Chains A and B, each alone.
Chain A
Amino acid sequence: MMLKKIWTIFIRDLRVNTREFMTLYMIIIPLVLAVGINLLSPGINDTTVNLALIENENTEQAAYFDNFAHVELFGDEQRVEDRVMARDDVVGILPKDNGYYIMTQGNEPESVLEYAKLLNVLYESDVQLEDARSEIIEFGRTVPPLKKMLVNILLLLISMLAGMLIAINIVEEKMDHTVSAVNVTPTSRRAFILGKSLTGMVIALVSSIACLLITGFYNVNLGQAALVVFSSTILSLLIGFVQGINSDDVMEAAGSVKLMFLPMAGSVAGYEIVTGNWQIFFYWSPFYWAYKANDMILSKSGNWPQLVLFIGIILVICGAVYALLAPRIVRGLQ
């Protein structure tokens, strides 16, 4: 009986939502972002160093540098100087009496300058690509780390989006007095909660899988990925519910939405930047474990026991949060 009611709320929500912006956003935003990641990442991955040269001054040199760097050509020395002085990092290589000199703005990172110097040395030393002496063996991976990171963040964003929209949606339902109307129907509060969550969960799962496929991760274990999305979405939904129910107006819900960004952004930064023992400070965050689990799945480096451990940790944190918040949810619905 209970299941039937949950199902009815889910179907009703789904039907209502397909006519509404909320679902549309939850479906469209991640897909647009996935396409965006696809468009961005090849350019970023191809980044080495940008060189500015004088057009037709030495075409052979320009062609040589093009094998190793992005080359931009300009009419004269003044234009090269203007380009070097622009805000991004471009290094000029210009002729002098007996060879070439390197023109910099003076604020480039050391690595950019070293790369440019090395290229000029290789050119001056007549080192040719045809005579390459090093052997390169590749593992056949095609997805660069930055793309993997962006897709991982996108997966977290999808589960957060579900929570955020639930929060805002509930506040608005409250203001329209549709939440209190549930109290006079035979539907229990728990069924109402579960029914509403199901919509967010299904959309989050479908969007995540679609995003993985769009961004080219079709050969990762989609089942594992769905499990991680499932567990992290539970938490987002829980928080979304509590925020929605305990916020009296949309302004408070908006503030809470911003608060939700903090543990997520912090966890990603913690995993990527913070080294060694400091990572322990992020163990409380389920987003940290979700990010770690996603990273393992996307790089196809993990195994089931590890994954089960990570998901288990997320679910335990979810359980703790639920135990803490359940009374507030039920009270809030009264």
Chain B
Amino acid sequence: MKLLSSFKKELILASRGFYFYVELIFALVILAVLLFAIPQNFSGTSTEYLYFDLPQEGVEIFTNQILADDLDGESEMVEIEAGGKTFNAELIVTDESETYIVNSEEAVRMLAETHGNIGAVIELNENNQLHYKYYLQGYESTRLKNLISVLHNESTDILEERFNNQDVRPLSTGYEPLSDRENTIPPLVAFSGSLMGMFIMASYIFLDKKEGVIEAYAVTASSVWQYLMSKIFVVLLTSVVSGLIIIMPIMGFRINYGLSLLLLLTTGFFASSLGLLIASFYNNLTKAFGVIYLLLIIMMVPGIAYFIPGWGPFWIKIIPSYTMLQGFKEIILQNGDIVYSLITSAGFLAAGIVLFAITNIRFKKTLRV
């Protein structure tokens, strides 16, 4: 009962403050950017420059092969600049790439060097065989260079036939991949909502420390944990509301909101408790800032692994935000792993309770620190 009245009081105080609205505006702006500025799918397209130093028939064969995948079946004549020069090019746009076919090797070299993309020249050698010359930047990994160097050892037709006959056995089916826009939701919700709770919670505590609120609790009938918990509830409420503002318009009714709510609450509770614990070691925000800032940055590193599917060293997986991101992803995926999200929620709840208990002991002992 005391907890509820503390929460009500905190909520009224928060609603008069500036922060509460910042959080909501922040979520609305993110939503607007997601809906209007970020394309449904933005990754996976590459740009390449090609020059066919071949007889006209050869040029046509190669061009038609690429053109077969063009989105509207027609190429477009464009001008493209590099190194202060303008080159004419035939542009072919497919689902996966933008290919510029140019008229000279110099154009390929300059375009590849200036724009940092791959370039290739296909010509005939002295034995009248096709010879492939690739222009790379130099930072590409040895493994990728190895692949490029052997790509044309065997005839493309044979490779293609064998490629199409590969026996692929998926262990599970019915997987619907997320669009790039949907895929950006988990990091935004996790970082903007849940993890920022850590920073905001610490700020709340320092404010009250400064004003002697925590000491005042020693002479009231209410206990410190109820006071701390009511603060956490306010942060949780804002992170849930802002999280839902981002999720709902994009995902509609396709996802399980019970699970979303559960994960938002448990991850928010974990982050807030962590913020509380850090706050218990310092007496102002400037001093605590470094630790919180560094922790936030460390928590953001799994975001890189999230967007680069092939990269996921072991140490990334033990950073809590990795599980957080995967948990949110499972929720918005069709046929996502519900059990994983539930276990993740339980884990964050348990970790949050432990952190909260330690913090409570620290605050009770010192009453201010």
Asked if A134 lies at the interface with its beta carbon under 8 angstroms from chain B, I say yes
Are A104 and B171 in touch, CB under 8 angstroms? yes
Q: Which residues of B contact A140 (CB under 8 A)?
A: 138
Are A139 and B136 in touch, CB under 8 angstroms? yes
Residue of A nearest to B288 (CB): A21
Task: Given A133-B132, A141-B138, A249-B207, answer yes or no on A21-B310 (Cβ-Cβ < 8 Å).
Answer: no
Q: Quick one: which of A121, A143, A169, A262 contacts B139, CB cutoff 8 A? A: A143
A155 to chain B, nearest CB (A): 15
Contact with B along A165-199 (1 / 0, CB 8 A): 10011001001000000000000000000000000
Of the 9-residue stretches B17-25, B63-71, B215-223, which lies at the interface with chain A? B17-25
| Distance between Cα atoms of A29 and B116 in the complex (Å) | 31
Q: Tell me the chain B residues, 20-53 only, with Cβ under 8 Å from chain A.
A: 22-23, 25-26, 29-30, 33, 37-39, 42, 44
Q: Tell me the chain A residues, 130-166 only, with Cβ under 8 Å from chain B.
A: 131-146, 161, 164-165
Contact with B along A102-125 (1 / 0, CB 8 A): 111111110111000111111011
Q: Which residues of B contact A139 (CB under 8 A)?
A: 112-113, 135-138
Asked if B252 lies at the interface with its beta carbon under 8 angstroms from chain A, I say no
Q: Tell me the chain B residues, 155-192 only, with Cβ under 8 Å from chain A.
A: 158-159, 162-163, 166-175, 177
Are A43 and B138 in touch, CB under 8 angstroms? no
Residue of B nearest to A131 (CB): B153
B118 to chain A, nearest CB (A): 10
Are A106 and B163 in touch, CB under 8 angstroms? no
Asked if B269 lies at the interface with its beta carbon under 8 angstroms from chain A, I say no
Q: B112, B114, B148, B169 — which one has the most chain A CB atoms within 10 A of its CB?
A: B169
Q: Which residues of A contact B138 (CB under 8 A)?
A: 138-142
Asked if B326 lies at the interface with its beta carbon under 8 angstroms from chain A, I say yes
Q: Quick one: which of B133, B210, B313 contacts A250, CB cutoff 8 A? A: B210
Asked if B204 lies at the interface with its beta carbon under 8 angstroms from chain A, I say yes
Query: Which size class do A's interface residues fall under?
Result: 35 or more
Q: Which residues of A contact B366 (CB under 8 A)?
A: none
Q: Which residues of B contact A50 (CB under 8 A)?
A: 310
Q: Which residues of B contact A299 (CB under 8 A)?
A: 116
Are A254 and B308 in touch, CB under 8 angstroms? no
Q: Which residues of B contact A89 (CB under 8 A)?
A: 309-310, 312
Task: Given A121-B162, A136-B145, A138-B136, answer yes or no on A49-B168 (Cβ-Cβ < 8 Å).
Answer: no
| Distance between Cα atoms of A119 and B147 in the complex (Å) | 8
Are B203 and A274 in touch, CB under 8 angstroms? no
Task: Given A132-B153, A141-B139, A142-B138, answer yes or no on A252-B18 (Cβ-Cβ < 8 Å).
Answer: yes
Q: Quick one: which of B42, B170, B290 contacts A24, CB cutoff 8 A? A: B290
A90 to chain B, nearest CB (A): 9
Are B116 and A21 in touch, CB under 8 angstroms? no
B304 to chain A, nearest CB (A): 7
Asked if B150 lies at the interface with its beta carbon under 8 angstroms from chain A, I say yes
Are A47 and B310 in touch, CB under 8 angstroms? yes
Q: Quick one: which of A21, A47, A87, A278 contacts B37, CB cutoff 8 A? A: A278
Contact with A along B114-153 (1 / 0, CB 8 A): 1010000000000000011111111101111111111111
| Distance between Cα atoms of A168 and B285 in the complex (Å) | 7
Asked if B11 lies at the interface with its beta carbon under 8 angstroms from chain A, I say no
Total interface residues in chain B, CB < 8 Å? 86
Q: Which residues of A contact B326 (CB under 8 A)?
A: 87
Q: Which residues of A contact B23 (CB under 8 A)?
A: 255, 258
Of the 9-residue stretches A232-240, A265-273, A284-292, A311-319, which lies at the interface with chain B? A265-273
Of the 9-residue stretches B243-251, B293-301, B355-363, which lies at the interface with chain A? B293-301
Are A254 and B44 in touch, CB under 8 angstroms? no
Q: Which residues of A contact B210 (CB under 8 A)?
A: 175, 249-250
A146 to chain B, nearest CB (A): 8
Q: Which residues of B contact A275 (CB under 8 A)?
A: 39, 42
Are B285 and A254 in touch, CB under 8 angstroms? yes
Asked if B286 lies at the interface with its beta carbon under 8 angstroms from chain A, I say yes
A27 to chain B, nearest CB (A): 10
Asked if A2 lies at the interface with its beta carbon under 8 angstroms from chain B, I say no
Residue of A nearest to B44 (CB): A111
Are B289 and A21 in touch, CB under 8 angstroms? yes
Q: Quick one: which of A69, A141, A169, A281 contacts B143, CB cutoff 8 A? A: A69
Are A137 and B172 in touch, CB under 8 angstroms? no
| Distance between Cα atoms of A112 and B177 in the complex (Å) | 13
A70 to chain B, nearest CB (A): 8
Are A125 and B162 in touch, CB under 8 angstroms? yes
Are B313 and A43 in touch, CB under 8 angstroms? yes
Contact with B along A200-238 (1 / 0, CB 8 A): 000000000000000000000000000000000000000
| Distance between Cα atoms of A105 and B131 in the complex (Å) | 38
A112 to chain B, nearest CB (A): 6
The contact sample of 11 A-B pairs, CB cut-off 8 A, is A21-B286, A21-B289, A43-B311, A119-B147, A134-B151, A137-B136, A141-B139, A249-B210, A250-B207, A259-B22, A278-B37
Per CB-CB distance, the 5 closest pairs between chain A and chain B, nearest first, are A254-B203, A106-B170, A255-B19, A25-B290, A88-B312
Q: What residues of chain A have their CB less than 8 Å away from a CB belonging to chain B?
A: 20-22, 24-25, 28-29, 32-33, 36, 40, 43-50, 67-70, 81, 84-85, 87-89, 96, 99-109, 111-113, 117-122, 124-125, 127-129, 131-146, 161, 164-165, 168-169, 172, 175, 247, 249-259, 262, 266, 269-270, 273-275, 278, 281, 299, 301
Extra pairs beyond A252-B18, A273-B42 (18, CB < 8 Å): A40-B304, A44-B311, A47-B308, A70-B310, A89-B312, A107-B175, A109-B44, A109-B177, A118-B163, A125-B158, A135-B131, A138-B137, A141-B139, A161-B293, A257-B199, A274-B37, A274-B38, A278-B37
